[in-house]
Amino acid sequence: MRTCFQHGLGAKQFANALRVQQLQQYDELHLQYLYFIKNSHSLHSFLGHCVQLFLPFENHSPNGFAGFVPSAQWLRDLYNAYIEDHAKKFNQHTAMLSADILAIDHSFKAPKQITKINGEQAFIGLLTGTNERGEIRLCNLVAMKAHSQFEMALRNMSNLLTTYGHSQPALMYTDNMSDQGFLKQVFPSLQEGVSPIEKHSQLESLEVPSNVVISHPLQSTVQINNAMRSIIQLLPDYDSSFGADKDLVIGLDTEYNVEVSSHRYVTGQGQTAIIQIACGNNIFILQIGAMIASGCLPIMLKQVLSNPCIIKVGRNVGADLQYLESAVSASPKTFVGTVDLGKMTKECLVSKDAWIGLADLCALMLGKCLNKNVPECISDLWENDTLSEAQICYAALDAYASLCIYQKLLMISVPSPLPLDTSPAPSTPILLYSSDKSCLIAQGCVSHHYGADEPFNGINVTKMQCVIEVSDVLVPGAKLPIYGSKKLLSSFGTPLFHMVCLKSHLRLAPPPSPSLSQDLPSHNGPSSSPSSFPSSIPTDDLEDAPGTDSNSLEKSVASMLDDLESTASSSLSLSGCSIDEQSQELGDEIIKKVASMPWDTTHQSWVKKDAFHIFHQFYLPAAHGCRVDFVRAFWDSLFLPDQGDKSRIESWGAKQQPLVTYEYLLCTKPKWVLDRCKRVIPPPEQLYPLVAKVFNIYGSLKDAKSGAPLFNKAAWGVAQQVLELIRKGFLSDPLDIALYKLLFYERKTGLPIYRCLQGTNFTEGGVGTFNSTGLPWQSHYDIRLINCLHEILLTLEADGLISNIPEGIIPKGWINGNFYVPSTEVFGILPIPEALHEKSGMVQYNESIHRSQTHCHTGSSEPPWEQIVRSWNASANQDSMLSYKLIEHLRLYYNGTWKSIANVKQTYAETTAA
């Protein structure tokens, strides 16, 4: 039965097979009986005996066949009992495998088919890890996506690798690069000889000075009130002259748990867990997660946040306070007195982009590197009762950096409006802004043609207007409402030119500030062209695009890779293809933007992005004429053939009749070539220009029929993420780790046959024993039996009863788990972390109580999830028939089944009303 199950025959099919065999055996006996009667007919006639009929299949009398076939469910229970009895042997064997190269992947499809309770899946995902031989080293069902859920499994594996004499992982592949910080914490070997890839890593790291005191995390209302009272006491006494120059400035930032979708996309934030405030020589860390959950804040903290004389500076600090207002049900604009550092830098002409990040601001204004390449940046541990030192340091640095950047920005003069009652002198430097005054569009000076109430080019210049000389146009497409109708700035020609504009659109250009001693240093890369293209797409990682439909008009690039072998080569000529100018412009901006980022070839990461997953990111028009050619070009730019293997194939092809070339074989038999030719992903500085060129050539090509470009805005966004991964070295092969293993030399061609270790393909399935033994598996699958046989043979050999163990009895390379300490590693279902037990209101685990964690089957409303789950679990603690719930289960059920049912009800209601 176990052999049948392992080869894809299920319990129902096995039960049917047993029944067929039983019925066949019954009929064989029946036939023999009838032949016997026929052959002994004369004897029976002579004796006058009456022939007894053969009894039915199900007859249970002493002479009956007593046919019985166990049901499929009975067979399942039997098999489950067998697996549970032998689970320790299986776990021991798996735990003793090596993991020099580890590939991990989360599957969110398999759990939907495994275990369901009342029609709802019981597990969120399946975490699988395979080693360098394609053996499953890790396999766990998880109840939630948080790192804390599967951290125990990874740490146990790390400990047992050392216990059993294996080395720690030297290289790890993942489909989600945002996990790299977490993986480096669990496996310190992944940090050996590697410097973190940080955007401004060439700068000195920002640190909190020794004279600045970082408080221990404050949790109680009394502690927080006392700290906030000390801030309020720093305010000067109020008088009629109290103004902005006497305001108290504090740096403020917040931290929260990050929510991740089933596709590993960052989908949103949890409730505010931490507020960090930098004031003078003190930094206060306030743990307010529990208070936010109850809908209240300490009174003194509210006074600090609502006092307009206490200026809160930070990046996007206004949104942080609005979120706090919503969380505690405060009126809008209750928490006031904020200064967004991004907007301030744009007003000071330090940055063109008001959405500039805090790390970029720190590098630009302070010349320091604010490290964001740490697990705390995207973490689900901020609501823990006890914060780690790394969390405290991370939070303190954000608040301290905000305060320092603000103080630096105060030293820079801000462009001031032109006075309306006086005329500015000619040659006065000015800045021209757009109609909404949000964007700088040109710069120059007051024209010498300007004179109050004097016409210019037939225009009567009023006191509200000014004649300027434009020396530099920054936004040629800007429109100016000055000549009766809106006129494009580019229509005035190339600078220098004179024009009339409203004084309200002008600002006096500030003199160069000596306080900003350094700008962002230049970097060397494939291109040094700067770009101000705003990035609105996270580049840490890539995930399958959510919501994609296999029946849509767009098709995944990955889904086309299997079709390339059967597709004839189409020597596409790009010379006659038309270009979509908008797509081309967008592509140029993206390529220039990524190329202008820091480029440090000394860094490399031992956590690598699975290059094969890159092809899953692009969803292209299924009918586009350039689609297949783009896939080939992209593949060839990413995976370069090993020159030695390529030369061997070319030499072999030259001897064939008729002659065959490498290119012909690659086009007609790609799998044949890939088995015999290693593929290398080159270093970033070599890979980037190759891939960027492919994107630049194909991205803007129009389809002859539809006229649509190959890359739309979403595809260019994916291209930007791919280029950033290349720039950071997350795709390139490591220099000193072999990713191909020679299996054997083919007898017919004399060419080597390789096995590739790149990526996470092994975790997707199809893992066999050939990779570990070099031969197809020729034995059974009973680990206990092999171990015992091995052990007794070694004992007999040691006692001199046998001379040696015959070859082939024990599988080659077998490791007997009976000779080692029992494994403590968990395979299968991972337990819920203890911290989550308390947070969700679950009682401590008791093996005598059987209660599962499943989805909520009730129509609950959108947040507060934590209150809902605690209320449900409180009832489950009293009623053993109820199952425990987690927040992930509630949210998944709400966004799926509940909303679908609600939509059906709403549709029926509207139809009835109509």
pLDDT given at position 268:
57
Q: What is the value of pTM for the model shown?
A: 0.58
Q: Cα(505)–Cα(482) distance, rounded to whole angstroms?
A: 11
**pLDDT bucket at 569, cuts 50 / 70 / 90:** very low
pLDDT given at position 263:
43
pLDDT given at position 255:
93
Output the six-digit token pair for 611.
């290059």
b or e along 414-441 (b: 16 or more beta carbons within 10 Å of the residue's beta carbon)? ebeebeeeebbeeebbbbbbbbeeeebb
pLDDT for residue 281 is more than 90: yes
CB 639, CB 679: distance < 8 Å: yes
pLDDT for residue 143 is more than 70: yes
Query: Within 13 Å of residue 898, how many CA atoms lie on the same side as its CB?
Result: 15
Predicted confidence (pLDDT) per residue in 655-685, tens digit: 998 899 999 998 889 889 988 999 999 988 8
Name the more confident of 596 and 5: 5
pLDDT for residue 621 is more than 50: yes
**pLDDT bucket at 480, cuts 50 / 70 / 90:** confident
Q: Quick one: which of 76, 68, 69, 74 has its CA closest to 9? A: 76
Lowest mean pLDDT across 152-161, 266-275, 437-446, 593-602: 593-602
Q: What does DSSP say about strands 125-130 and 282-287: parallel, antiparallel, or unpaired?
A: unpaired
Q: Is 119 exposed, middle or buried (0-12, 13-18, 19+ CB in 10 A)?
A: exposed
Report which residue type is found at 577.
C
Q: Cα(134)–Cα(809) distance, rounded to whole angstroms?
A: 24
Name the more confident of 72 and 598: 72
Q: Which of 201-215, 762-776, 890-904 has the highest mean pLDDT?
A: 201-215
Lowest mean pLDDT across 400-414, 624-638, 740-754, 832-846: 832-846
Say which DSSP state 118 is in: T
pLDDT given at position 244:
45
pLDDT given at position 443:
92
Domain boundaries, the chain: 2-74, 207-409, 416-508, 554-744, 783-819, 832-913
Q: Quick one: which of 390, 318, 413, 404 has its CA closest to 361? A: 404
pLDDT for residue 163 is more than 70: yes
pLDDT for residue 548 is more than 80: no
CB 521, CB 587: distance < 8 Å: no
pLDDT for residue 766 is more than 80: no
Q: Judge if the upstream peptide bond of residue 496 is cis by omega within 30 degrees of 0.
A: yes
pLDDT given at position 262:
44
CB 734, CB 192: distance < 8 Å: no
Q: What average pLDDT does the chain have?
A: 80
Q: Quick one: which of 879, 825, 646, 910 has its CA closest to 166? A: 825
pLDDT given at position 404:
95
pLDDT for residue 566 is more than 60: no
CB 852, CB 171: distance < 8 Å: no
Lowest mean pLDDT across 349-358, 430-439, 559-568, 784-793: 559-568
CA angle 346, 350, 353 (to 5 degrees): 45
Output the six-digit token pair for 64.
């009956």
pLDDT given at position 523:
35
Q: Cα(129)–Cα(535) distance, rounded to whole angstroms?
A: 33
Name the more confident of 864 and 221: 221
**pLDDT bucket at 266, cuts 50 / 70 / 90:** low
Predicted confidence (pLDDT) per residue in 301-331, tens digit: 999 999 999 999 999 999 999 989 988 888 9
Predicted confidence (pLDDT) per residue in 195-245, tens digit: 555 667 678 889 999 999 999 999 999 999 999 999 999 987 654 444 445
- The whole-number average pLDDT for the span 605-623 is 84
Other beta carbons within 10 angstroms of residue 22's beta carbon come to 15
Output the six-digit token pair for 816.
């007997």
- The whole-number average pLDDT for the span 393-419 is 92
Percent share of the chain, pLDDT over 70: 82
Q: Cα(194)–Cα(373) distance, rounded to whole angstroms?
A: 13
- The whole-number average pLDDT for the span 487-510 is 87
pLDDT for residue 705 is more than 50: yes
pLDDT given at position 888:
75
pLDDT for residue 60 is more than 80: yes
Predicted confidence (pLDDT) per residue in 421-436, tens digit: 778 888 999 999 887 7
Predicted confidence (pLDDT) per residue in 771-797, tens digit: 565 566 677 778 888 888 888 888 888
Q: Which of 305-314, 375-384, 506-515 has the highest mean pLDDT?
A: 305-314
Longest C-alpha distance within the chain, in Å?
145
SS3 28: helix
Residue located via tokens 């743990």: 287
Lowest mean pLDDT across 95-109, 119-133, 187-201, 371-385: 187-201
pLDDT given at position 198:
61
pLDDT given at position 914:
57
Residue located via tokens 């640095």: 397
Q: Which of 229-233, 347-351, 376-380 has the highest mean pLDDT?
A: 229-233
| End-to-end CA separation in angstroms for the chain | 59
Other beta carbons within 10 angstroms of residue 828's beta carbon come to 11
Query: In the CATH hierarchy, which top-level class contains the domain 207-409?
Result: alpha beta
pLDDT given at position 881:
72
Task: Identify the H or E element spanning 568.
Answer: none
pLDDT given at position 844:
63
pLDDT given at position 550:
37
pLDDT for residue 394 is more than 90: yes
pLDDT for residue 446 is more than 80: yes
pLDDT given at position 391:
93
- The whole-number average pLDDT for the span 88-115 is 85
Q: Which residues contact 45 (CB under 8 A, 6 or more apart)?
A: none
- The whole-number average pLDDT for the span 569-587 is 70
Length of the chain: 914
CA angle 602, 604, 610 (to 5 degrees): 150
User: Could you give the dihedral angle defined by the CA atoms of residues 334, 339, 340 and 341, in that order, rounded to the nearest 10 degrees?
Assistant: -160
C-alpha 195: how far from its chain's center?
Answer: 21
Percent share of the chain, pLDDT over 90: 21
Output the six-digit token pair for 29.
């006996």
Residue located via tokens 């337990």: 831
SS3 608: strand
pLDDT for residue 598 is more than 50: yes
CB 643, CB 679: distance < 8 Å: no
